[in-house]
Each structure stands twice: as C-alpha cells, then as structure tokens.
Structure 1
C-alpha cells in the first residue's frame, strides 16, 4: 500500500547524499556526475534557510506543506515544522500506524508564505484541499503509493520536490520521476542576489502534457489518473504504468530488440565521465548478453537484455550500483534507452537533446514532460541528469529557496 520515503531520489541528489557521512540510504542507484565544490568556510551554510512559497496556482482552498526527510547530522528520519525545527518520528508499527501531523499551513491563492527548512535530505510535499496521509512502519516513514487504487492519498491532488541541504549547500529539484502532477517550480537565491529557477511549464504546458499522453497510441493514456468528478490528478510514471498494467509491458520491446541486434555486429562506446574522456568502455552483444570491456580488452561488466520495467526504472537488469564501473555504464544505457539514442549514436552518452525521443518507440512520458518545460529541463526518469538535462538547481551558499505553485493550464 505504501512505499518507503527513501525509495528513490534523483541521481545528483543521491550522490551528494552518498558523499555525506550520515547519508540517507536509498535503494535506487545513481549517477556519478559532479555536484559542485563545497562551500568555502567563510560562507558556511546555516542550520536552516528560508523557503519562500508562492501560490500562483489559481486554485481555491487550503494548501498544506510538509518537510520530511533524514537529518544529515544524525541519520534520524523525521519532519520539520515551520521554524525549521527537526522532530524525529516516533516508533512505527505493523501494520503501519498514523504519523504525527507534520502539515504546515501554506499560502492562500495569490499569497506568499515563508518557512524555514533544515539540513535534511528528503522531500517538500504540498497538497491541495486536504492533508496527506502519512504512516509509520517498523522500518520508518512510508509515503503515498498512488499507483495502488486503495491508497488513501489516491484522490488527493499533491506533489513534491526533493532537496538536500548540507554543509556544501542546497540542491533542490522539480521531479517527475514517479508522477507528473500539480505544477510547480523551485529556485535558489545566491549570495550575490541572483536567482536560479527551474520547473516552470511553458504557457499551456500542463494541459499540453496530458493532451500529448492522450494522443499517443500504445496505451500511454492509461497513465493518467482522474478523480470520480473528472478532475485530473496526475500521470503515473511509465515504470508504475508497467507495474500496474496501465501500460503494456511490451511497450519498449521493439526498440530493445533492435538495440541488441545492432550491437551484435557493432560496438557501443560508453564514455561515462565528462571530466574523464579517456575512460571508455566498449559494449558488444554475444550470446544474448552485452559485455563491456575496458581499453585492455578485459570484460568489466555484462548486461542481460533489459525489459521495459528495467529501462523505465533504471534498475533490475539495468541495476546501477554506486561504483566506478557498472553504475556509470548502466546509467548511460538507461538514459540512452529512455531517450532512444542508442541506435542513432554508437558513442554514449548522447548529450544533445535535439536527438532525444525521435524513435517511434521511446519514453513518451519523458518526451512530453521535457517538451512542456519552459527551460526543457525535467527529471522524468531516474538518470535524467545524464548530460545535465535534469530540473535541478544548486548553490553552495544559499540565501533562500523558492517553491512556486504554478497555474493548472
């Protein structure tokens, strides 16, 4: 019924966390892209920073905000109140028991409110109209799993941003890894007064995204969830679509088969680190398995032919451990499959977005999400940061963070 809060963070945030001694454990592996230098000592990051929340949604009714995550100084899971004070979760149960009410009253329509967020790695949830249902299991906090029809949050309109605030600064994103729902943008004000923002949709982008899914043959419209009154709530990620049967499990088979056929007679070259162009791995399919060799010709890792679940989730047959070989190769393969660039470019990663999603068989959810973003950036699958196409902002000395609830248009 529920999934653990720590299930998946975007790759760049995951590896910032992994570099922290008291990092949040996560089951999803991540990319190894650089996340920027640590903040200088004279610009130490304070214990909390302001988060300015602006409600431009145009919707009436209350908004509820939650700051949930893992305290990086102690490794404890918990929540923060409006002042940024951290509260550890009490013990959970089996079956899960209700969590303490961690909601913060958000701004009304057209208004702005400011709260403070502490040094956590976690999520900032927001919901419209009613509070979210959170519960505690024996292993800690669980989060809504709206792909389950019986989940108590299924008919609530909500979304979340993921963030990490630590001694090296702030990372905050707009994510569509699990679902595309209530529109929002995030930002950070730098010490010099400038701001960086991402996540805003193009004019008409919210409706444009859902219209694109409805028009796409092959079952993609099955990802859309609506309330009984017809209100569109969200589109599930294609991973959840495959897992629940809303999207056919064979949806990527044709493309995957063509890739495996191509590299049975040619070589796929992977250069996983932008700052290490001499590090290359060479993939060739033999006996149905893609083996990667290093420059000396030694096999360093191998992949069975993946299925759609593995591709959309960047896991299972495309598992990406937090290492220096298999993980970086896997994340590159995952990006190439989702963006359908593996047939057109034998040198990966392909970082030019002009070539993405051009095959008829592709991740049309990710294609539609990127197409509707004002800056073209999105986190539509777990390794969407390969080539820096993710909707993430970072600063080593953040003055404040921003969360803007955008119009449903």
Structure 2
C-alpha cells in the first residue's frame, strides 16, 4: 500500500494535474506571466488553538526539470536522493511551523506539489526506487497512522499560482488557503463554517450504511480524520456495493433515453451523446460516430474517478469521464440528462450518493471543496488562482 508521487492512486495529486492542465482541456489559453518570481512567500498562521508544535513540509515536482524533491524555508529546492527497496528514510524536510496564535512566512518555489503540516510529531517520509512514499493512513501499519496532519496542494509556474484545499483522500485538520493579488486584494477558500469541523464528524456518525466507519481515531479516542469513500472501500469500511443501486438506475435510464454531455463551457456546440447497450455506455459525436465507451462502473470507479471512469488528459474521453464522475458522485444523472449541472441545487439529493462529499460541502463557508477528484466540474472546488501572486496564505483553523 505504498503511495509514490507518480501513482494514479494518489487522487489528490491528480487534482493538481487537472489544475495544471485545465486551461488546455477547456480550450482556453493563458498568456505567459514572465513576472512570476522563482519563489513566492507563504504566510502560515496558526489559529488552531492547539499547543503542540507544528511541522511544515513543501514537497513535489520541480516544473523546470521534472525532479521530485522538497523545499526548505527559503524556497530552495532539494532533489530527493535515490530510494531503495525496501524504502529508505527520506531526509528531514520539516520546517518548524508557527506556535499557536502566531504566523511564520516561508517561501515556496515553482513546484506542482503539496504543503503538508502536522501537529505534535514529524511525518515519516520514505523513498523507493520510484520516488517519495506518501503517508497512506488507510494502511493501519503506516507510521503516520496516529499523527494528526493534513495538506494543501499547489502549482506555481510562469502562468501564476493555483492553490487549493483538498479532501480527496481524507478530511482532517481544518485549514484555509489564500492568495494576495498585485492590487493588494486577497482571495481565499477552504474555511469551514463555525462549528463545521465537529459538525462534519457528527453528521458522518449519523449517516447509516457504514459511513461512520470512515472515521479514524487514536487509541485514546482522539479523532484524527475521516477517510475518503474510495479508501473506505479499500479498507472494508464501506460495502463494495454502496453505489450499485444508483449506478443500476442510471444504466436503466439511459438504455432508453440519451445523456447529453457538453464538457466545455466555452464550447457549447461541442456535445456528446450517451446511450447504454448492455453493460456499456457508448458516446457519439454530432455526426453519430462513436468516440468513446464506458463499461458499467462500480463504486470504486465512481469514488476514485478512475478504473472504468478513467479520464486521460485528452479532449474527448477525459472531459466526458470527468463529467460522468461528477454526476455520479453528486447523484444528478437521473434528474438532469444534460450534464454538467448548471448549479448545485440538485446535488446529493438521492438517497444513494457520496455522503462524504455531501457533508463536507455542507460545512464549508463558501460551499466549495475538493471532496472528490473532479469536484472542479462546474467550479465547485476550493481553489484560488492568480496570474501574478504576491503572497500565499495557509491558515490553520480551530478544531470546532
């Protein structure tokens, strides 16, 4: 159950790749911003109210070379040394974070990667011959299993910065992200409503069908996180058939009617038409030519937006699959045959849905989150972007 930076199973980093390529997929073009500096200041503010020391890590892929590595507090990139099999310990990449009630500014370089933060203990990173092994807390023997931690994701390149909060893999220590623009204004996202942290866990505990089993605690009962439903399937916390009823109803509906997908908001004339034949949904273009087909998905395909709903970075199958994945997770495919949805009013209304995503979005102050890999379909993601960022913000929020 090792997870390295290049594995597709690392759904959170898939979101980063989607962000980095979203302009291509949408058909839009962004002018190069040569003014973007080599590093950007990141102000970390600890409003958590917790007394434990905080440790911060900047890890990812250096965009200029493709090397995997980490950055120190000054934003200097360090390539990881060669790993081994079995995995070998990684260099200590931790940066001391600010104490409760204080702030600290570090610099982050042009990476596509993650900013981890942990409370009380340093994270354990190891290296294989394939790269960095990420924490995989769905594995009960993972050395980070009982550490309270979380991460944000960012891409900084010559076109600007994309910075998001994420719950694709898990919901854990609360935080918000933000950017300062050239005119001095700021934009932020990822903040929970007052009481939203406890509200989410209480709501998950009250959801029948195994959803409460996603919650992980320390041996002393301290709540650490809730795993994503994909990992819930992998660990047996959720039944493998949890989405089957909805999937079956969708397949029956589109055996006798047509699902229309318009994947590009700026290209309303580009449409694909889906009809089910047996266990396969075939999509045709406006000329009636089959352009791609999908085997009937299972719950893992829906929650992970992969396997039978794989989404390559192309201009046909990938955009259709992203739209299907969002419709399945939000349970809107039965009520809207024209996807994606124009608004969120009908999201998560079916009794069979991604209740993890539903409950996360319900607790976000702005309603936005990355609760599954393609939660950005329709712009419902917790993402901030600026072409000329002057400063980034990471705020560690209270556990209430």
The answer to whether the 8 A contact 1:12-1:32 is kept is: no
- 1:2 match: 2
2:199 counterpart SS class = helix
The answer to whether the 8 A contact 2:26-2:266 is kept is: no
- 1:333 match: 324
Instruction: Provide the C-alpha distance between the structure 1 equivalents of 2:265 and 2:15, rounded to a whole number of angstroms.
Output: 14
1:168-317 to 2 correspondences below 5 Å: 168-317=159-308
User: How large is the Cα RMSD of the aligned pairs?
Assistant: 1.5
- 2:109 match: 118
1:353 counterpart SS class = coil
What displacement does 1:304 show?
Answer: 1.0
- TM-score in terms of structure 1 length: 0.95
What displacement does 1:32 show?
Answer: 2.8
What displacement does 1:40 show?
Answer: 4.1
What displacement does 1:5 show?
Answer: 2.5
Instruction: Provide the C-alpha distance between the structure 2 equivalents of 1:270 and 1:5, rounded to a whole number of angstroms.
Output: 32
The answer to whether the 8 A contact 2:36-2:159 is kept is: yes
Instruction: Provide the C-alpha distance between the structure 2 equivalents of 1:273 and 1:10, rounded to a whole number of angstroms.
Output: 22
What displacement does 1:83 show?
Answer: 0.5
**Cα–Cα, structure 1 residues 19 and 254, in superposed 2: closer, same or farther, change >3 Å?**
closer
1:362-401 to 2 correspondences below 5 Å: 362-401=353-392
Structure 2 residue 35 is matched with structure 1 residue 32: no
Deviations 1:30-57 (A, max 9, x none): x93478723544xx10011100000000
What displacement does 1:244 show?
Answer: 1.1
The answer to whether the 8 A contact 1:39-1:397 is kept is: no
Instruction: Provide the C-alpha distance between the structure 1 equivalents of 2:194 and 2:154, rounded to a whole number of angstroms.
Output: 26
1:385 counterpart SS class = coil
- 1:140 match: 131
What displacement does 1:368 show?
Answer: 0.4
Deviations 1:237-285 (A, max 9, x none): 0000011111111111110000000011110000000000000000011
- 2:340 match: 349
- 1:163 match: 154
**Cα–Cα, structure 1 residues 36 and 109, in superposed 2: closer, same or farther, change >3 Å?**
farther
Instruction: Provide the C-alpha distance between the structure 2 equivalents of 1:152 and 1:13, rounded to a whole number of angstroms.
Output: 25
Structure 2 residue 77 is matched with structure 1 residue 74: no
- Return 393-402 or 284-293, whichever deviates more: 284-293
- TM-score in terms of structure 2 length: 0.97
Instruction: Provide the C-alpha distance between the structure 1 equivalents of 2:19 and 2:242, rounded to a whole number of angstroms.
Output: 33
What displacement does 1:11 show?
Answer: 5.8
2:134 counterpart SS class = strand
Instruction: Provide the C-alpha distance between the structure 2 equivalents of 1:128 and 1:11, rounded to a whole number of angstroms.
Output: 26
**Cα–Cα, structure 1 residues 357 and 36, in superposed 2: closer, same or farther, change >3 Å?**
farther
For this pair of structures, how many residues does the alignment match?
Answer: 397
Instruction: Provide the C-alpha distance between the structure 2 equivalents of 1:339 and 1:371, rounded to a whole number of angstroms.
Output: 13
